């Protein structure tokens, strides 16, 4: 079994891309297969080596391992060979309309209630008429309009297309560059791709590619089309500025929080925080994915992230902490952070001069006067509270909240009994006394 992930290096990977890459990886692993990474960089002007490097880096960070990779820009000679062969056989033909002329044709067809299918007018041009065009031609693949293309989609079941309802796809642009269609099909054939997993926006492309594969007398792979992710009313995609993985990484999310969510969203499985790819592989089945619309909620990933952090040992995060941040500090704050970067917030609470909040000045003066003198440990808080309770009628919950705000400036956080020794007596006196 061999599948492939084929991003275009024209931007950073977004969550929709990553979901596809992750499903491809889990599918390959669950079948003992392999994953090929292909860079669809035939659009030379828009492709950028910086994005290629970032894609490789982001996949590695997420734990998505690939077995081999290549760039389509390295295979133009092969594409030209197949192109010339198909041209000679009459499967590809030259077209001369400008973009503006094609737009007018589409608008006229839609106005008449007709599907915006290319009318093949270029096929009727004489050699003399073609010579009169000053512009260079672009090229389309001539589909068999009497054909019916169908396949058993591993997510959507039987899918069927009447080819007469599909425009002859553009294969090569006027500048000589290839569109997605032909190179992708040739690559799948040459590399013996057995399974193609991608978004539902490629369904029509699949019908065309199957048609081309049949013309080239090659074996058709199995196809699975995942529903696109939706955030609100918009589908998440790179062109619409979908959330890129670089943003999530820089914001402090753990890779397994992202993987745990994207591997299960749109399936019948309960979404839980997983700590390893192994568990995701073991529970994977492409049949679990639904063809129904899928809602993406970033807050769900942050909830999973908090759960993962709360179970991480000091040894697993030691290298990410500063040398001053001890195991006591980590185990104290790990249940109170949503992302790892928040450790700095709590470190500042424990070690720096911060702005706090005083609700009742007289109460704080009283609390300050009752601070225990002996060596501070986890019992200090209990002793302190007992002394305060003897001197005031403030309700216990209000008392706790006032002290938390006065000591940390925050209305929630780790146990004050454990936090107090880390803040230290001198800093506690300073915070209460300055107010």
| Distance, CA of 28 to CA of 122 (rounded, Å) | 44
**Which residues are registered as beta bridge partners of 3?**
35, 195
| Distance, CA of 404 to CA of 54 (rounded, Å) | 43
| Distance, CA of 26 to CA of 177 (rounded, Å) | 33
| Distance, CA of 149 to CA of 335 (rounded, Å) | 54
Which has the closest alpha carbon to 193: 181, 180, 184?
A: 184
**Which residues are registered as beta bridge partners of 2?**
34
| Residues 130 and 107: beta-carbon distance below 8 Å | no
Establish whether 355 is an annotated binding residue. Answer: no
Q: Which residues contact 81 (CB under 8 A, 6 or more apart)?
A: none
| Distance, CA of 119 to CA of 105 (rounded, Å) | 9
| Distance, CA of 362 to CA of 384 (rounded, Å) | 16
Rg of the chain on CA atoms, in Å: 31
| Residues 42 and 180: beta-carbon distance below 8 Å | yes
**Which residues are registered as beta bridge partners of 92?**
141
| Distance, CA of 433 to CA of 355 (rounded, Å) | 13
| Distance, CA of 246 to CA of 37 (rounded, Å) | 19
Q: CB atoms < 10 A from the CB of 367, how many?
A: 24
| Residues 68 and 36: beta-carbon distance below 8 Å | yes
- The helix/strand count (H/E) of the chain reads as 19, 13
Which has the closest alpha carbon to 364: 311, 318, 290, 430?
A: 430
Quote the pTM value. Answer: 0.89
pLDDT digits (tens, 9 = 90+) for 260-285: 999 999 998 999 999 999 999 999 99
Task: Identify the pLDDT of residue 113.
Answer: 84
| Helices assigned H by DSSP within 336-377 | 343-351, 361-369
The structure tokens listed for 214 are 């049949």
- 3-state SS, residue 266: coil
Task: Identify the pLDDT of residue 239.
Answer: 46
Sorted by where each starts, the structural domains of the chain and their CATH numbers stand as 1-69+181-311 (3.40.50.620), 78-172 (3.90.800.10), 318-435 (1.10.10)
| Distance, CA of 235 to CA of 255 (rounded, Å) | 23
- Segments of the chain with pLDDT less than 70: 232-242, 434-435
């Amino acid at each position: 079994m061999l599948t492939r992930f084929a991003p275009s290096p024209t931007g950073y990977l977004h969550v929709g891309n990553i979901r596809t890459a992750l499903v491809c990886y889990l599918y390959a692993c669950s079948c003992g297969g392999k994953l090929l990474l292909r860079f669809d960089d035939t659009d030379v002007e828009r492709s950028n080596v910086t994005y290629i490097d970032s894609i490789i880096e982001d996949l590695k960070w997420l734990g998505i391992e690939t077995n081999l990779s290549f760039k389509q820009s390295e295979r133009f000679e092969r594409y030209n060979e197949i192109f010339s062969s198909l041209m000679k056989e009459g499967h590809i033909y030259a077209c001369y309309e400008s973009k503006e002329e094609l737009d007018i044709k589409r608008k006229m067809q839609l106005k008449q209630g007709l599907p915006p299918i290319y009318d093949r007018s270029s096929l009727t041009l004489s050699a003399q008429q073609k010579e009169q065009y000053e512009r260079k031609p672009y090229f389309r693949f001539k589909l068999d309009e009497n054909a019916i293309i169908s396949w058993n989609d591993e997510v959507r079941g039987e899918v069927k297309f009447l080819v007469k309802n599909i425009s002859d796809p553009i294969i090569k642009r006027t500048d000589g560059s290839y569109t997605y269609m032909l190179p992708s099909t040739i690559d799948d054939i040459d590399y013996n791709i057995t399974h193609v997993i991608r978004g539902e926006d490629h369904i029509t492309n699949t019908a065309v590619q199957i048609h081309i594969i049949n013309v080239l007398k090659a074996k058709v792979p199995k196809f699975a089309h995942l529903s696109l992710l939706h955030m609100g009313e918009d589908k998440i995609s790179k062109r619409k500025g979908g959330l890129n993985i670089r943003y999530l990484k820089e914001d402090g999310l753990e890779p397994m929080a992202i993987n745990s969510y994207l591997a299960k969203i749109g399936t019948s499985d309960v979404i839980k925080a997983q700590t390893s790819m192994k568990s995701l592989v073991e529970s994977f089945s492409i049949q679990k994915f639904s063809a129904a619309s899928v809602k993406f909620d970033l807050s769900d990933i942050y909830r999973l992230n908090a759960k993962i952090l709360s179970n991480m040992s000091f040894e697993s995060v030691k290298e990410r902490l500063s040398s001053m941040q001890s195991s006591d500090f980590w185990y104290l704050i790990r249940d109170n952070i949503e992302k790892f970067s928040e450790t700095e917030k709590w470190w500042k609470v424990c070690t720096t001069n911060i702005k706090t909040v005083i609700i009742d000045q007289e109460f704080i003066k009283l609390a300050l006067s009752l601070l225990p003198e002996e060596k501070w440990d986890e019992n200090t808080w209990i002793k302190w509270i007992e002394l305060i309770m003897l001197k005031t009628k403030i309700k216990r919950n209000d008392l706790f909240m006032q002290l938390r705000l006065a000591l940390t400036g925050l209305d929630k956080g780790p146990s004050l009994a454990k936090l107090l020794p880390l803040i230290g007596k001198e800093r506690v006196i300073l915070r209460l006394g300055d107010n």
